[in-house]
Amino acid sequence: MNMPEVEEHFKKEAVVFIHGIWLTGIEMTLMRHRVAICGYECHQFSYKSLSRTPRENAQALNNYLATLDSEVIHLVAHSLGGIVVMHLFNDFPQQKPGRVVLLGSPINGSRVAKHISQTSLLRGFLGHSVNQGLLGDVPQWKSEHDIGMIAGTKGIGLGTVFAPRALEKPNDGTVSLSATQSDAIKEHRTVAYSHQGMLLATSVAKLVCHFLKKGQFK
Q: Over 70: is that where the pLDDT of 123 sits?
A: yes
pLDDT tens digits for range 142-201: 999 999 999 999 999 877 777 777 889 999 999 999 999 999 899 999 999 999 999 999
d(CA 104, CA 76): 11
Q: Which domain holds residue 61?
A: 10-214
Q: What is the CATH number of the domain that holds 167?
A: 3.40.50.1820
| 130 within domain boundaries | yes
pLDDT tens digits for range 44-86: 999 999 999 999 999 999 999 999 999 999 999 999 999 999 9
User: 5 versus 132: which is more confidently predicted?
Assistant: 132
Number of H helices, E strands in the chain: 6, 6
Q: How many domains does the chain have?
A: 1
| 91 within domain boundaries | yes
pLDDT of residue 2: 55
| 192 within domain boundaries | yes
pLDDT of residue 20: 97
Other C-beta atoms lying within 10 Å of the C-beta of residue 211: 25
Residues paired with 17 in a beta bridge: 44, 76
| 1 within domain boundaries | no
| 160 within domain boundaries | yes
| 2 within domain boundaries | no
| 3 within domain boundaries | no
| 5 within domain boundaries | no
